[in-house]
Structure 1
Amino acid sequence: MISLESYAFVSMMLFSIGAIGVIARRNVFVIYMSIEMMLNGVNLFLVTFARYHFNMDPQIVTIMVIAIAAAEAAIFLSVIILLYRSRKSLDTDIFNTLTQGEKS
């Protein structure tokens, strides 16, 4: 049987790798995937402790987070497509202005 500490370690590693990806990367799509990895690390942590304490409340929160993440994924991917169409790149360095008319 796998221990509680093993699940907690895996969830902390997922969150840490995601946080490093958000800080270190410059591609918008990679940053989005890193945020999703952090979200999955938190979900695993919630489910682990819910199972350990025989409580269903964190599992309900996790199911709601997964449902919201699915809707958020559709919106974020459409924003990524719009950004790529307007600037022909997904590098975060070129997204420094909010004006519509300026071409970098």
Structure 2
Amino acid sequence: MELMITPWLAEPGLVHFLIVSALLLSLGLMAVLSRRNVIMVLMGVELILNSANINLIAFSRYTSLSLEGQMIALFVIIIAAAEAAVALAIVLNMYSRFNTVHLDEIDSLKG
């Protein structure tokens, strides 16, 4: 029996990338809005940024734009790396001060 591959599964197109991007965006939003752990919230923000990168690169590939989408995606990756470093420093500071990384248990703004 020969395996039949449907034509829409043969080569990924723009719609496939948009579906993956929408799934990443929804998972990231769910993590940001529902979790109370700071690390999980930061992971949700990273998922949202990766979703934007997939959109930028997919539209750059499948439209008549030149390399603008890829350059913007590169800048987003650089900014996300800097954001992750700063966020990790903030999380370490929160843990050393409050001995927890849960947002519900941190209720003091002054040191």
TM over 0.5: yes
- 1:74 corresponds to 2:80: no
Deviation at 1:37, TM superposition (A): 0.4
Report the TM-score, using the length of structure 2 for normalisation.
Answer: 0.86
Alignment counterpart, residue 12 of structure 1, candidates 17, 22, 26: 22
- 1:88 corresponds to 2:84: no
Report the TM-score, using the length of structure 1 for normalisation.
Answer: 0.92
Structure 2 residues without counterparts, runs of 5 or longer = 1-10
How large is the RMSD of aligned CA atoms in angstroms? 0.9
Structure number with larger C-alpha Rg: 2
For residues 48-87 of structure 1, what are the alpha-carbon distances to aligned partners after superposition, in whole Å with 9 as ceiling and x for unaligned? 0010014211111110010111111111101101101111
Instruction: Tell me the distance in 1 between the aligned counterparts of 2:93 and 2:83.
Output: 15
Residue matched to 1:41: 51
Structure 1 residues without counterparts, runs of 5 or longer = none
User: Once the two structures are aligned, what percentage of the paired residues are identical?
Assistant: 34
What is the count of residue pairs matched by the alignment?
A: 100
For residues 24-58 of structure 1, what are the alpha-carbon distances to aligned partners after superposition, in whole Å with 9 as ceiling and x for unaligned? 00000000000000110111011000100142111
Instruction: Tell me the distance in 1 between the aligned counterparts of 2:51 and 2:74.
Output: 14
